Structure 1
Amino acid sequence: MSRTRLVGALALVATASLTLSACAGSSNSPGGTTGGSGGDAPASIKVGFMGDLTGENSAIVIPPRNGAKMAIDEYNKSNPKTKIELVEYDSQAKTEQATALTQKALTQDKISALIGPAFSGESKAVGAILEQGKIPSVSPSATNPGLAKNNWTFWHRVVANDDDQGPGIVNFLISAKSPKKAYVLSDDQEYSVGIADAFEKTFKDKSIPVDRDKFAKDASDYSSTVNKVRAANPDVVVFGGYYAQGARLIKQLRDGGVKATFATGDGSLDIQLVTGAGAAQAEGAVIGCPCKIPFDTATGALKDWATKYKAAAGADPAIYATEGYDAATAIIKAVQAGNTTGEKINEFLKTVSFEGISKPIKFKANGEPEANSIFVYQVVGGKIKLLGPSAEAKLEG
């Protein structure tokens, strides 16, 4: 983070702190109308969802938003003592926008909890503000490992971090392709750099020579990077980043004559990686994710859930839809138990334990999930196909 951005974020923390102090008598009162005087539970509280809902990588965020909304709608239909109003905050993955929206959520909307932020950069930018405001957050999709190292006590996520995802993807590539040389690429976003670091470290730990390059998020011409990769002639190219950049990168690498196996992480697990690059150029690309989709082969309770999701959202469940549902459910269970302020919800989250749709949900002391698994996908015939858990998957073709 630049010095200017850091100073701005700290100033907003101070502003949020002063505003919250002025309202200290409410003890972080949630939004909505109260059910009566004294110790009565409020009739409703507000819970936020924050993420890129309209930006270039919004396809990663809309499914978890839909999952969260589905969980809250189901809860509200049960006629609970305290209903939950979901308030959406469209950050467009911009840290400055996420910071301003977080201040609004705390001081004007008076949310009691937040689902998100969805991406790592915005999570880093607003974590201190949420901590200062004593508002618990549960991210369905932010994977940067550093988020768990800030000593935040109100921060949680239901997804494995890149220190698990990076090695899972690289170790799969080593097993499947036996590369003698690798090239790791990223843009300059928080998530991209973090997972690229994990890729690079794993190659080095396995004594495989690896080169590294980075380009600007908003760049459209990657020719300098393509030239470097072509000159290095690696066996595998591994990209840390989102599908909008990943699609352009694949196309330009292939157009530039680079034929190495292309692999990437969860930020690129969307069909737009294929359509943006072109099916022929994307063919064979490997994608890893601490998530399991699609659901067309699901059975039992998961199949029933997927059917309900499609009816509610008007689309098949996609990346992190289950994690969004589970993140919301963790907060819902806190409210069901009579916890309606940020501090009380946070205390409940320390001991919450239930069988989620994505995985068993239970948090470590630092907010990390107790359970995690890495799955591998491959672009086959213009479609993204699940190959299986990273330790068991086999490449096709």
Structure 2
Amino acid sequence: MLRPASTAQEDIPVRSIVKLATPFAAAALLLTACGGTTGGSTDAESSAGGASGCPEGASIGFFGALTGPNSNLGNNIQNGVKLAVDQHNAKPDACQVTVTPYDSQGLPDQASGLGTQAVRDTKVLGIVGPAFSGESKVADPLFAEAGLVGITPSATNPALAENGWKTFFRVLGNDASQGPAAASYITTTLQAKKVYVIDDASEYGKGLADIVRSDLGAAKVGDDTVQTGQTDFSAVVAGIRASGADAVFYGGYYSEAGLLLKQMRDAGVTTTFVTDDGAKDEGLVTAAGAANAEGTIITCPCLPPDKAGGSFVADYTAAYGTAPGTYSAEGFDAASILMAGIEAGKTTREDLLAFVKSYDAPGVTKQLKFDEKGEPSDISVWAYKIAGGQIVADQEIKAS
């Protein structure tokens, strides 16, 4: 079960295992810091460095949905980030680091203000995120201009890497891999002959669905578009029925995907439902109902959490009392890269950015190394299925 969504934005405290070291004098740059995050930054203001050259109040940001309809995904990532920071802080003589949250609710219209806050808070040395593609399109140009490195564990729109942003990195494959893999699974594994494709008009959902449409070719027999926040899908269900489709692909997030699936099943439409990583959450099962969700296929360029390397699964479960969720391991890897840089003494934005560009080391999900556009060198796409009300790994799909 995924950790429940946060109900209020607040700073993320370093866990009790962390021992705060004696403060050192703050770097002159940090003395001029201005701005903060929504809700303030109590921990970032009070924590001090614990190692030579460590700036007082050193922080990394997490940028994503911590509240709102898709907050489960953001909280999964946040937990992975916090775990990586806690483990770093627990090391002897570690430079103490806090996590500063930027709760975007997954909304692009929140991203500009939050991105500006992150840029102005010079205690923030790097960002994990933004988590969603739409908010990334807004915030990443601000980070690029300021030289603030961002590593996203979940934003998969391919175009994000084509903007020339030197501060942009991601630890998982983009939708140019997931889309063809999803289309292949639908036509080869499911052997569907007629596929109805729907998107939620978001930067992420439409972008992915358009790739699936293209790769399906003649197998695509119908199209539709819905809106985020929509609750009545009767016209869409009627279109699916009329098309005679034997599979549906939905590009978007779990809130609308679950309601659409419920209304399909309530109307007697038994067409196989296939969706994406944005819907890979127990919120899909909750919205649709376990019986209605049974047999749903979900594609994701993310590693099954139980296959993560090292002691990650045990450590995460011990810390949060639940197994890792979607993107928890990717969030851990993204934060671990930033922690490795800080451990290496890269405690300015410029130095940390250079460190990330040349990074090449194993993470818990894969070997972590980036090309000149910030894309990962190691890419995989998995199919998951809902069985007995649980999302379980089905098989790895060969990524193109």
TM-score interval w.r.t. the shorter chain? 0.7 to 0.9
CA contact (8 A) 1:43 1:81 kept: no
Matches within 5 A, 1:36-55: 40-55=53-68
Amino acid of the structure 1 residue aligned with 2:76: P
Name 2:378's counterpart in structure 1.
Answer: 371
Amino acid of the structure 1 residue aligned with 2:117: K
CA contact (8 A) 2:53 2:345 kept: no
Q: Deviations over 1:146-176 (max 9, x none)?
A: 1111110001110111111111121012112
Distance in 2 between residues matched to 1:77 and 1:214, nearest whole Å: 48
Alignment CA distance shift 1:381-1:35 (3 Å): closer
Matches within 5 A, 1:241-390: 241-295=252-306, 301-302=309-310, 304-390=311-397
Amino acid of the structure 2 residue aligned with 1:255: D
Q: Deviations over 1:351-378 (max 9, x none)?
A: 1011100111111110111111111111
Distance in 1 between residues matched to 2:66 and 2:281, nearest whole Å: 15
Which of 142, 148, 160 in structure 1 is aligned with 2:161? 148
User: Any stretches of 5+ residues in structure 2 without a counterpart?
Assistant: 1-27, 34-43
Alignment CA distance shift 1:40-1:71 (3 Å): closer
Distance in 1 between residues matched to 2:140 and 2:112, nearest whole Å: 9
Q: Deviations over 1:288-329 (max 9, x none)?
A: 11113252xx59x54x32111111122211111110110001
CA contact (8 A) 1:28 1:342 kept: no
After TM superposition, what 4+ stretches of structure 1 lie above 3 angstroms from structure 2?
25-36
Amino acid of the structure 1 residue aligned with 2:244: N
Amino acid of the structure 2 residue aligned with 1:353: D
Alignment CA distance shift 1:352-1:165 (3 Å): same
Report whether the alignment pairs 1:221 with 2:228.
no
| Secondary structure at 1:54 match in 2 | coil
Amino acid of the structure 2 residue aligned with 1:342: R
Alignment CA distance shift 1:84-1:314 (3 Å): same
Matches within 5 A, 1:72-91: 72-80=85-93, 82-91=95-104
Distance in 2 between residues matched to 1:107 and 1:176, nearest whole Å: 50
**Shift in Å, 1:281:** 1.4
Matches within 5 A, 1:165-204: 165-204=178-217
Distance in 2 between residues matched to 1:293 and 1:348, nearest whole Å: 28
Amino acid of the structure 1 residue aligned with 2:338: I
**Shift in Å, 1:142:** 0.6
Distance in 2 between residues matched to 1:244 and 1:331, nearest whole Å: 32
User: Any stretches of 5+ residues in structure 1 without a counterpart?
Assistant: 1-24, 393-397
Q: Which shifted more, 365-374 or 272-281? A: 272-281
Name 1:8's counterpart in structure 2.
Answer: none
Report whether the alignment pairs 1:232 with 2:243.
yes
**Shift in Å, 1:391:** 4.3
TM-score, normalising length: structure 1: 0.85
**Shift in Å, 1:83:** 2.2
CA contact (8 A) 1:200 1:210 kept: no
Alignment CA distance shift 1:353-1:258 (3 Å): same
CA contact (8 A) 2:257 2:279 kept: yes
**Shift in Å, 1:177:** 2.4
Answer 1 or 2: which has greater helix percent.
1
Which of 111, 115, 118 in structure 2 is aligned with 1:105? 118
TM-score, normalising length: structure 2: 0.85
Alignment CA distance shift 1:192-1:112 (3 Å): same
CA contact (8 A) 1:186 1:239 kept: yes
Report whether the alignment pairs 1:58 with 2:71.
yes
Amino acid of the structure 2 residue aligned with 1:63: N
CA RMSD between the two structures: 2.3
Report whether the alignment pairs 1:132 with 2:145.
yes
Distance in 1 between residues matched to 2:91 and 2:240, nearest whole Å: 56
**Shift in Å, 1:258:** 2.2
Alignment CA distance shift 1:140-1:220 (3 Å): same
Name the count of aligned residue pairs: 360
* Identical counterparts, % of pairs: 37
Q: Which shifted more, 27-36 or 142-151? A: 27-36
| Secondary structure at 1:112 match in 2 | strand
Distance in 2 between residues matched to 1:293 and 1:26, nearest whole Å: 41
| Secondary structure at 2:377 match in 1 | coil
**Shift in Å, 1:256:** 2.6
**Shift in Å, 1:43:** 4.2
| Secondary structure at 1:114 match in 2 | strand
Q: Which shifted more, 104-113 or 126-135? A: 104-113
CA contact (8 A) 1:118 1:141 kept: yes
